[in-house]
Structure 1
Amino acid sequence: MTDAETLDLHFLDMACEAQREATPLVVIHGLMGSADNWRSHLKVWQRTRRVIAVDLRNHGRSPHGDDMRYATMSQDVLALMDRLSITQAHILGHSMGGKVAISLARLAPERVVSLMVGDIAPVTYRHGHDDVFAALERVREGTPKNRREADDLLAEHVDARPTRLFLATNLVRNDDGVMGLRVGLDEIKRGYSDIIGPPAGEVPFEGPTLVLRGSESHYVTDDMLPALREVLPKARVVTLKQAGHWLHAEQPEAFQQAVDAFIAHHDR
């Protein structure tokens, strides 16, 4: 753990619709994402259990803070679970959120009934978000009055429209009518070396683990599997066909089915 002060995270709390409530599910988004990105999945999961989707620090509607270490971010999530009186949960994280989930599972394994990781390995990655940072900086400097102007500014650095649409979820209109950033861009940039680094924890997580990877993604390659199994020795690795890094958005039904089956097998 760290000595950093935890932040009170914003979250979505989706009540269970069933008469018998099962073990809750905690969902953790990736870099530049938010809980809002998961709403379609959350509506399905809440049919059988309570679902908590968090906004990590410097993301969504959560407060900003300089510390982006995985031990600190996992402490934020654990503090939220304490506030909500959730002693144990299924933990699902995608990309950066997957590393937060792995960190939480290694540091507090007694809180984790099962662990699900979306398209990330517990390894250090190369720098790969310079274009994203430059695009968001351009929006901040350009003070667009609407989303069309913002998209034109994003397009100066990011060609792929799906990526620009995803980044645009971080835009909010301020009191002056200008589209600004809600994401803590400066804090994220300063903490980027921690973000691309390994998850926190010194010991393996020995609990049930599902790792979902996209067949078109380079984030969990075969040569990373030995390192993955050192940290997650009981991991079941499933590859979703015709899916890239955003596999939950690109193959939502296959992603949903894999998660549902895994949770059902390990529910309490």
Structure 2
Amino acid sequence: MSDSLPLTFLEAHPQQPTGRTPLVILHGLFGSARNWQMFVKRFGQRQDAYGLDLRNHGGSPWNDRMDYPAMAGDLGRFLDDRGLDRAVVLGHSMGGKAAMTLALTAPERVERLIVVDIAPVSYTHTHLPYVKAMKAADLTGRSRRSQVDEQLRDAVPDPNLRAFLLQNLEVEDGGLRWRINLDALEAGMDNLIGFPDLGSARYDGPALFIGGAKSDYVTPEYEGDIRRRFPAAEIRMVADAGHWLHAEKPEAFTSLVEAVL
């Protein structure tokens, strides 16, 4: 893993050691560990919990390569750097595909897999319009996110989604800059909406797939793909929730996760 990257992370730990396997949480595209801070703290009351910034996101290093085998390599390095033989790995969306790739390529590192609203398939949608809109935004002389919000309005009409994307703006030297590597995300978009060809690889350990009932990321048509790769998978749906089900229905989501932890 000589080309793996050292990832930045948040962490939380129980007041007393519990002997439970640590939990690693992976965010989705355009996200960061900060989006999962509440869950890191909550799950960290029962076992060591880490929220990672994946490559080209948050505070983690930038790199031209943006695909799931590379992200799985970064996760392996994180475990090695922390002296962890294995972990329970929870990933949402892009983070879920990174978690699945680690489980399929290094199953001995994953004690239990929890995948949130994503399947091991290639999707037809793309997030390139969002990347292009962010790249096109003029940050010159801007010091507030609200000044950029207006520039994204046509390409990203959903105000909640715009607010989520704008979380990636940070102040530097009195101005604004994107803290995600938009060039790498643009070049790697086909990899991100796809899923790597891993031959006949499968993960026989316990796996929980949690989908949003109002989302189209985990649908009955993908159940065969899930069970082919993860034969022990349990699939649960959260009612009245979409792709960001953990934010929309946090208690229902937390209950499902804690039941398997």
Interval containing the TM-score (normalised by the shorter chain)? over 0.9
SS in structure 2 at match of 1:8: coil
* Farther-moved stretch of structure 1 (69-78 vs 151-160): 151-160
Equivalent residue for 1:185, pick from 182, 185, 188: 182
Task: Evaluate the alpha carbon distance shift between residue 78 and residue 200 of structure 1 in structure 2; reply closer, same or farther with a 3 A threshold.
Answer: farther
Equivalent residue for 1:22, pick from 16, 20, 23: 20
User: Does the CA contact (< 8 Å) of 2:86 and 2:111 recur in 1?
Assistant: yes
What CA RMSD, in Å, does the superposition of the two structures yield over aligned residues? Answer: 1.5
Equivalent residue for 2:87, pick from 86, 89, 106: 89
Give 2:38's aligned residue: 40
Give 1:255's aligned residue: 253
- Measured after TM superposition, the shift of residue 190 of structure 1 is 0.6
Give 2:10's aligned residue: 12
Q: Distance in 1 between matches of 2:43 and 2:225?
A: 31
SS in structure 2 at match of 1:144: coil
Q: Distance in 1 between matches of 2:129 and 2:5?
A: 28
- Measured after TM superposition, the shift of residue 13 of structure 1 is 2.1
Q: Distance in 1 between matches of 2:194 and 2:175?
A: 35
- Measured after TM superposition, the shift of residue 140 of structure 1 is 4.8
One-letter amino acid of the structure 2 residue matched with residue 32 of structure 1:
F
* Farther-moved stretch of structure 1 (210-219 vs 65-74): 65-74
SS in structure 2 at match of 1:23: coil
- Measured after TM superposition, the shift of residue 227 of structure 1 is 1.2
One-letter amino acid of the structure 1 residue matched with residue 251 of structure 2:
E
Give 1:196's aligned residue: 193
The C-alpha deviation readout for 1:133-177, integer Å capped at 9, x for no partner, is 1331233556532111021122131111110111111100121x2
- The number of equivalent residue pairs is 260
The C-alpha deviation readout for 1:55-79, integer Å capped at 9, x for no partner, is 0100000010011121111010110
Q: Distance in 1 between matches of 2:116 and 2:196?
A: 14
One-letter amino acid of the structure 2 residue matched with residue 82 of structure 1:
D
Q: Distance in 2 between matches of 1:143 and 1:224?
A: 47
Equivalent residue for 2:165, pick from 163, 167, 172: 167
Matches within 5 A, 1:115-154: 115-140=113-138, 144-154=142-152
The C-alpha deviation readout for 1:108-133, integer Å capped at 9, x for no partner, is 11111100000000001113213311
Q: Distance in 2 between matches of 1:139 and 1:167?
A: 12
The C-alpha deviation readout for 1:76-98, integer Å capped at 9, x for no partner, is 01101100011111100000000
Q: Distance in 2 between matches of 1:18 and 1:32?
A: 34
- Measured after TM superposition, the shift of residue 103 of structure 1 is 0.4
Task: Evaluate the alpha carbon distance shift between residue 199 and residue 143 of structure 1 in structure 2; reply closer, same or farther with a 3 A threshold.
Answer: farther
2:105 is the alignment partner of 1:107: yes
The C-alpha deviation readout for 1:204-247, integer Å capped at 9, x for no partner, is 11000000000110011111111111111111000000110011
Report percent identity of matched pairs. 39
Q: Distance in 2 between matches of 1:66 and 1:137?
A: 16
User: Does the CA contact (< 8 Å) of 1:107 and 1:200 recur in 2?
Assistant: no
- 5+ long unaligned stretches in structure 1: 264-268
Matches within 5 A, 1:55-74: 55-74=53-72
Q: Distance in 2 between matches of 1:138 and 1:260?
A: 42
TM-score, normalised via structure 1 length: 0.93
